[in-house]
Structure 1
Amino acid sequence: MRALEDLKNQVRSQTSRRYVEEAVAAYNAGAYRAALISTWIAVAADIISKTRLMAEQGGIARQLSDELDQAISTENRRDLQEFERNLIVQAHKGLELIGSREAEELHRLYQDRHLCAHPAFVSDGDDLFSPSPELVRAHLTTAVDALLAQPAITGRRALERFGRELGSDSFPEDDARLNDHLRASYMDHGTKALKENLVKVVCKETLKPEVPLRQRWRCARTARELRKIAPGLFDEQLRVVLDRVQNHLDDAGLMALVSGLCYVPGTWDALHDGTRARVDELLRKAKPQDLMETHVLFYGPLPPAPVGKMLLDRLEDITSPNAVRGYTGPLANYFGENPDPQLVPKLTDLAAQATSYEGGAAILQVLNGVAHAMTDQQMAALLEVCMSNGQICGSVLGSRQIDRMRWHGPQGELSEAAWAKWDAPRNPERAEGLAG
Structure 2
Amino acid sequence: MRDLEEWVGRVPDADVRPLVKEAYRAYTAGAARAAIVLTWTAVCADLIGKIRQLHEEGEGDAKPLVQQVESAQGHLDATAVRTMQKVEDSLLDTALTLELIDASQKLQLQRLREDRNMCAHPSLRPLGELFDPQPEYARAHLAAALDAVLVHPASQGRKSMQAFTNHVTDPGFVGDPVHIAQVFYYRVRPTSRRRITDLAAKHALLELPADGITDSELADRMATCLRVFAAQEHDLVRNAITRAAQRLLTAPTPVQLRAAGRMGDLEPFWSGTDEPMHSQLDALIRTVGATHAEESAWHKMLSPDELQALALATDPRVRATLPSLEKAFTDLPAHKRAAVIAQSPSTYFAEHLAALMADAGGFDHGESLARTAVLPCASYLTHDQLQALLSAWEENPQCWGRLMPYYLVSLYQATSHLGDSRKKLWRQLLESLDQERPAYAVIAAAIEETPETATEE
TM over 0.5: yes
What does the per-residue CA deviation read over 1:182-213, in whole Å, with 9 as the maximum and x for residues that have no partner?
44434444432343334333323322446465
Per the TM alignment, residue 143 of structure 1 is displaced from its structure 2 partner at its CA by 1.5
Counterpart of 1:199 (choices 175, 197, 200) is 197
CA contact (8 A) 1:291 1:297 kept: no
Name the SS for the 1:307 alignment partner.
helix
Local SS of the residue matching 2:351: helix
How far apart in 2 are the matches of 1:189 and 1:106? 21
Counterparts of 1:101 and 1:115, CA distance in 2:
22
Report the CA distance shift for 1:276/1:402 in structure 2 as closer, same or farther (over 3 A): farther
The answer to whether residue 156 in structure 2 is matched with residue 154 in structure 1 is: yes
Superimposed CA distance per residue, residues 209-257 of structure 1 (whole angstroms, 9 cap, x where no aligned partner): 4646555444334322322222344434443443x53333331331232
State which of 314, 317, 320 in structure 1 corresponds to 2:328: 314
Q: Secondary structure at the match of 2:308?
A: coil
| Amino acid corresponding to residue 329 of structure 2 in structure 1 | L
- Match of residue 109, structure 1, among 107, 112, 126: 112
Are the aligned partners of 2:307 and 2:339 in contact in 1 as well (CA < 8 Å)? Answer: no
2:263 is the counterpart of 1:261: yes
Aligned with 2:388 (options 364, 381, 384)? 381
Structure 2: how far apart are the matches of 1:155 and 1:11?
19
Q: Secondary structure at the match of 1:89?
A: helix
How many Å apart are 1:180 and its aligned residue?
3.3
Corresponding letter in the other structure for 2:279: A
Q: Which moved more, 1:35-44 or 1:297-306?
A: 297-306
Partner SS state of residue 205, structure 1: helix
- Aligned-partner residue type, residue 230 of structure 2: R
Task: Evaluate the alpha carbon distance shift between residue 290 and residue 216 of structure 1 in structure 2; reply closer, same or farther with a 3 A threshold.
Answer: farther
> Does the Cα contact within 8 Å between 2:313 and 2:319 map onto a contact in 1?
yes
RMSD: 4.6
How many angstroms does 1:32 deviate by? Answer: 2.5
The answer (yes or no) to whether the contact 1:291–1:298 under 8 Å persists in 2 is no
Distance 1:305 1:257, change over 3 A: farther
Q: How does 1:2-17 map to 2 (within 5 A)?
A: 9-17=9-17
1:130-177 per-residue CA deviation (whole Å, 9 max, x = no partner) reads 4321121122133224322322233444444444544455725xxxxx
CA distance in 1, matches of 2:32, 2:109: 17
| Distance in 1, Cα, partners of 2:105 & 2:243 | 19
- The one-letter code of the counterpart of 2:423 is E
Partner SS for 1:200: helix
Q: Distance in 1 between the 2:202 and 2:92 partners?
A: 35
Residue 284 to residue 247, structure 1, CA distance change in 2 (3 Å): same
- Distance in 2, matches of 1:386 and 1:292, equals 28
1:364-375 to 2 correspondence within 5 Å?
Answer: 365-366=368-369, 368-372=371-375, 373-374=377-378, 375=381
What number of residue pairs does the alignment pair up?
404
Q: Alpha carbons of 1:303 and 1:200: their partners in 2 closer, same or farther (altered >3 Å)? A: farther
Unaligned segments of structure 2, at least 5 residues: 73-78, 293-299, 414-421, 445-453
Counterpart CA distance in 2 for 1:312 and 1:351 is 19
* Equivalent of residue 227 in structure 1, options 227, 230, 252: 230
> How far has the Cα of 1:274 moved from its partner?
0.6
Residue 413 (str. 1) matches residue 423 (str. 2): yes
Deviation of 1:263 (Å): 1.3
1:246: which partner in 2? Answer: 248
Q: How does 1:12-31 map to 2 (within 5 A)?
A: 12-17=12-17, 19-20=19-20, 23-24=23-24, 27=27, 30-31=30-31
Structure 2: how far apart are the matches of 1:384 and 1:299?
27
Query: 1:43·1:148 contact (CA, 8 Å) conserved in 2?
Result: yes
Q: Are 2:36 and 1:36 equivalent residues in the alignment? A: yes
Cα deviation, 1:379-421, whole Å, max 9, x if unaligned, reads: 4312323566xxx44xx5x654993753553355255335435
- Displacement of 1:70 in angstroms is 6.7
Q: Deviations over 1:39-74 (max 9, x none)?
A: 233223322321121112224xx2243266479899
Q: Mean Cα displacement is larger for which, 299-308 or 30-39? A: 299-308
Q: Is the 8 A contact 2:308 2:340 kept in 1?
A: no
Q: Which amino acid aligns with 1:271?
A: T
Amino acid at match of 1:416: W
Quote the Cα distance in structure 2 between the aligned partners of 1:186 and 1:300: 30
Seen in structure 2, the aligned counterparts of structure 1 residues 406 and 147 have a Cα distance that, compared at 3 Å, is: same
Determine the structure 1 residue equivalent to 2:297. Answer: none
Say yes or no: does 1:346 pair with 2:352: yes
CA distance in 1, matches of 2:280, 2:340: 29
Q: How far apart in 2 are the matches of 1:364 and 1:212?
A: 37
- Tell me, yes or no, if the aligned pair for 1:302 and 1:340 is still in contact at 8 Å: no
Cα distance, 1:303 vs. partner? 6.2
Q: Is 2:60 the partner of 1:57?
A: no
Q: Describe the SS at the equivalent of 2:315.
A: coil
Aligned to 1:327: none
Match for 1:180: what amino acid? V
Residues 1:159 and 1:88: Cα distance change in structure 2 (over 3 Å): closer
For the residue of structure 1 that corresponds to 2:249, the secondary structure is helix
Match of 2:304 in 1: 293
1:304 to 315, 325, 328: 315
Is the 2:206–2:251 Cα contact (8 Å) retained in structure 1?
Answer: no
Give the alignment's TM-score, normalised by structure 2.
0.69
2:307–2:340 contact (8 Å) kept in structure 1: no
Check the 8 A contact 2:227/2:266 in 1, yes or no: yes
Fraction of identical pairs, as percent: 22
Distance (Å, rounded) in 2 between the aligned partners of 1:414 and 1:85: 76
Contact 1:36–1:113 (8 Å) recurs in 2: yes
